[in-house]
Amino acid sequence: MASLNPNSSLKLHELCRIAPPPSSPKSSFSLTFFDLLWLRFHPVERLFFFSVPHLHPSSFFDNIVHMLKRSLSLTLQHFLPLASNIVWPSGSPKPIVQYNPGDSVSLAIAVSDSNMNSLLDNLPCDASMSRAFVPNLDSSDSFASILSLQITLFPNEGFSIGVTSHHACADGKSSTMFIKAWAYLCRRQAENESSGLLPQELQPFLDKEVIIDPRGIGAAYIDGWLGMDLIQKKQSLKIMYDIFAPKVEGSARATFKLKRGDLDRIKERVLQKWESHKAEDERADSTVPKPQSLSTFVLTAAYVWICLAKAMEITEQRTKKILFGFMVDCRSRLEPRIPENYFGNCVMPQFTETLPENPSNIEDGIVIAAKKMHRKIRKIQKEKGVLDGAETLFTRFSMPNEDSQVIGVAGSTQFRVYQADFGWGRPEKVEITSVDRNISMGMAESKDGDGGVEVGLVLKQHLMDQFASLFQRGIK
């Protein structure tokens, strides 16, 4: 059974398991090549903080926890893969997701004497603080749990829901759909209308057969994972926590905001200089005209990417090639199209890089970064090349280059995580805690609903100080 994070100083009130209703049938679900890429990757960890002033423990345990438990069970009957385990049957060429009646999800109920307001603050703080409020996920050579949850009370202030999910079972869009479905049924229960039915947009599409793999991408990924053990080629489902350990010692966690007006000004500056800056790889390519506009994602990612690259250059006193990795949702980019509510992974990593010679100033760097990302995305859209190079992706993933640094993106403004209202109001803060396992920016829409963006980062303290200075200076 999964447990509280070992770094936790919380008081554990209850450790239980929540199962779908008994009528839920035995089921198995295949893992597609989209899933297999993440087979032993670290889980995705999110924290949802809800402010409930004057929340007394008796009200929390008797009312809130009761409704969260009951609605969780009702939700899991729709999302059976989350109550399942990943197993690798003997003789099977690849693992599967298996649900047996009685399988369940680990749920920890805890009480913290921490000040929740300090956790809601966006200013840099000790990166290890959030670790206490997300649960662990069990795994071994023979099985891996898929979902683990922790609900933490902050007396008189509110509560948090920590969600740890196995990446091989769900991408960000799918895991967010589950959270919204759980919130919907909990809210309906509070209104005494808990039929257990979900609206169409929250009903997961579970048929894995819609994902076609004629090029043997999945087999290449399985070979890659088996090759991690050079001697035995052993089948293992154990998450590689040693490689993906949280990097919190001497690090700070912070959230940075770009308001709609900030993004508009960045866009204006980028488009004004669009023609005057050409990256080396585009000088021979004049097929990408100046766009009329740029997406919120491109503007945000380019700005944060270059501020971070420049901060690294200043603090490390040397220049590295910076690879920027981001996920592309393939649901609308495959033939035939995949349903929007498809549950599982349907994203493919894409990479682009800064110039070997880093721009002398941030503004020029943002222009070049935005152009590179815009060209990459446009090429994927135009040529439907979202799976180009997918067969060799595992090899590229597993061969790090000391002369380069990868910066990734977790989350999306399209997920609308601040819509997750369980009946006690929308979240005060949503945090992708697992960005501390590598250098990634956690991205979400602004809580204020103003069209802005929130970006969460975990960096070494000296790097965080430099980044924060560059970030604020750039938007002013």
Name the amino acid, one letter, at 474: G
Q: Is the peptide bond before 336 cis (omega within 30 degrees of 0)?
A: yes
Please work out, in degrees rounded to the nearest 5, the angle formed at the alpha carbon of residue 323 by the alpha carbons of 319 and 328. 160
Structure tokens at 284: 């021979």
Using a 10 angstrom Cβ sphere, with 0-12 exposed, 13-18 middle and 19 or more buried, the burial of residue 79 is: buried
The Cα–Cα gap between 295 and 300 comes to: 9
Within 10 A of 445 (CB to CB), how many other CB atoms are there?
Answer: 22
The set of long-range contacts for 89-95, using a CB threshold of 8 Å and a minimum separation of 24, is 93/219, 93/222, 94/30, 94/31, 94/36, 94/218, 94/222, 95/31, 95/39, 95/235, 95/237
- 47 DSSP β-pair partners: 162, 431
């297999």: which residue's tokens?
36
Catalytic residues: 167, 421
Alpha-carbon Rg for the chain in angstroms: 22
In whole angstroms, give the CA distance from residue 251 to residue 461. Answer: 5
Q: Quick one: tokens of 244?
A: 């993906």
What is the distance between the alpha carbons of residues 212 and 336, in angstroms, rounded to a whole number?
Answer: 9
What count of other Cβ atoms lies within 10 Å of the Cβ of residue 452? Answer: 19
Residues 6+ apart with CB under 8 A from 389: none
As a whole number of angstroms, the distance between CA 374 and CA 25 comes to 46
Q: Are strands 27-30 and 429-432 parallel, antiparallel or unpaired?
A: unpaired
Amino acid, res. 62: D
How far apart, in Å, are the Cα atoms of 325 and each of 97, 142, 319, 390?
28, 31, 18, 14
Nearest Cα neighbor of 33 from 378, 350, 392 is 392
CA of 418: how far to CAs of 216, 235, 428, in Å?
Answer: 38, 39, 8
* 377 phi and psi angles, rounded to 5 deg: -65, -40
